[in-house]
Amino acid sequence: MIGRLNHVAIAVPDLDAGIRKYRDMLGADVSAPQDLPEHGVTVVFVQLENTKIELLHPLGEGSPIAGFLEKNPSGGIHHMCFEVEDIRAAAKKLSDEGARVLGDGEPKIGAHGLPVLFLHPKDFDGTLIELEEVAV
C-alpha cells in the first residue's frame, strides 16, 4: 500500500538556524519558508537525491509543534511521510485493521498541495505517520 518515503519531518526551535545547518554546513538545497496556518506550522524542505527533510517550526497559537518542542526543547524527528496512491482507500484499510486516523479522518491539503492524513503514533511503534496522496 505505501509507496516511497516522501520526507522525514524534524521539529526545530529556530528555523533560521535549521536552514543554515542544512544549507551552509551540509550544502543542501533548501526551499523558502512556507507558512501553513491550517496546520500551525512554517516549513522548509531540504531536497535530497532520494527524499526530502521537512523542517517544522510553530506558527500561531496552538501549534502542535509548539507542544512537541516544549517536550523536546532542542527539537527532533516529528514524523515520517509515506506516499499512497489513494488516501481514502489507504485510510479505510488502515482503520479496518485497527489503526487510528487522527483528526476528523478527512484529508487536509499539505505543504505540497496534496491531500494528507496522520496516523496515531501509538499504532506505529511511537512514530507519527503522515500519508500523502501522490499526484498521478
Radius of gyration for the alpha carbons in the chain, expressed in angstroms and rounded = 15
- Residue 104 phi, psi dihedral angles, 5° rounding: -90, 5
Find the catalytic residue in 38, 49, 85, 130. Answer: 130
All 3 cell numbers of residue 51?
Answer: 527524499
Decide if 70 is catalytic.
Answer: no
Q: How far apart are CA 66 and CA 73, in angstroms?
A: 9
Sign of CA dihedral 83, 112, 18, 67: negative
Q: Which residues form the catalytic set?
A: 130
